[in-house]
Amino acid sequence: MTDMGTFLKKQTTALTEYDEQLVRRLIEKVTIYEDKFIVEFKSGVTVDVNA
């Protein structure tokens, strides 16, 4: 969690395009279902996204 916070604080601009390094540092896995997907961050936080 601390590593993620430090990395995000170093970002100087808003994200406007896909950033492979950021994705690999923050996201543990993405699980895709028929009607939604779940993003699990390395910090343990999960986010449900409904399609």
Integer CA distances (angstroms), 38 to 9, 16, 19, 35, in order: 25, 22, 19, 11
Mean pLDDT of 14-18: 83
In this prediction, residue 1 carries a pLDDT of 63
Task: State the pLDDT at residue 8.
Answer: 72
SS3 51: coil
The better pLDDT of the pair 10, 17 is held by 17
What does the pLDDT read at residue 20?
92
Residue predicted with more confidence, 8 or 18? 18
pLDDT digits (tens, 9 = 90+) for 17-37: 898 988 898 899 999 999 999
Structural domain spans, the chain: 2-50
CA 48 to chain centre: 12
Q: Name the pTM for this structure.
A: 0.65
- Helix (H) or strand (E) holding 31, with range, is strand 27-32
Beginning with the edge strand found earlier in the chain, give each strand of the sheet holding 46-50 in spatial order: 27-32, 36-41, 46-50
